[in-house]
Amino acid sequence: MDINYRETIIAGNWKMNMLASGVRAYADELAPLIPGFRDWSAAVVCAPFALIPAAVEAFTKHGISVGAQNVSEHSSGAYTGEVSCAQLTDLDVRYVIIGHSERREYYGETDDLVNKKTLAALDGILRPIVCVGESLRQRETGLTYDHVSKQVKAALRGVSVENMRRVVIAYEPIWAIGTGKTATPEDAQVVCRHIRSVISSLYIEDVARAVTIQYGGSMNDKNARELLAQPDIDGGLIGGASLKPESFATIINAANQ
């Protein structure tokens, strides 16, 4: 990571875990373990919709931002079960995960839909964490760069230079999510550097240099420091390890080394 040019952002993705009744205890346990994180940048907890009010109340007093795990591409209307950007910002949500591999795989989210949600989030004053990454088959057949390039270009279609500075990209190799497998720091760095080069080709080098690129493939308390030492890895999108305050704190503190 390069703190001279861009933010370091550690975001926990709780997925469909936790209960509202346990959020305050989690936050109170986490806060004393991360006394210096404000020195570098941002810690975020992306909670399920039902837990967001409790998360905002529990975390913001500790300087930790709250994010959502999904958002509608529509601003309002007859879309039962969906949640809009305005509804999220009204709850003091600041970040939103878009295009997570589980949304793409289980709910059929396409590159086009990811783009629409990204534009909606930016219009709604949210910071989108846009996820990209390849499957094991794509990796083994040498398609990683082509696939990731396609996803990045599609997600950023129509995003202005000004708004690009608010976008976060999360590289999440699908084969390393929830499997315990992790790309080596060198492998992760190569792909994150490639993502930055794609952004540079779409905008200019200064814009690409300012974009936060997270690694999101099973980063945990044991490998975080080595991954975060890579020049183009500017944080993490943390799954299972974010469910335990001690493990999440270790990752947050590793970003401040």
Antiparallel, parallel or unpaired: β 212-215 and 42-47:
unpaired
Least Cα distance to 49 among 93, 103, 86, 98 occurs for 93
Q: Give the active site residues.
A: 100, 172
- Are the C-beta atoms of 199 and 154 separated by less than 8 Å? no
Question: Which helix or strand (DSSP H or E) is residue 238 part of?
Answer: strand 235-238
3-state DSSP call for residue 116?
Answer: helix
3-state DSSP call for residue 144?
Answer: helix
Length of the chain: 257
Residue 42: beta bridge partners? 9
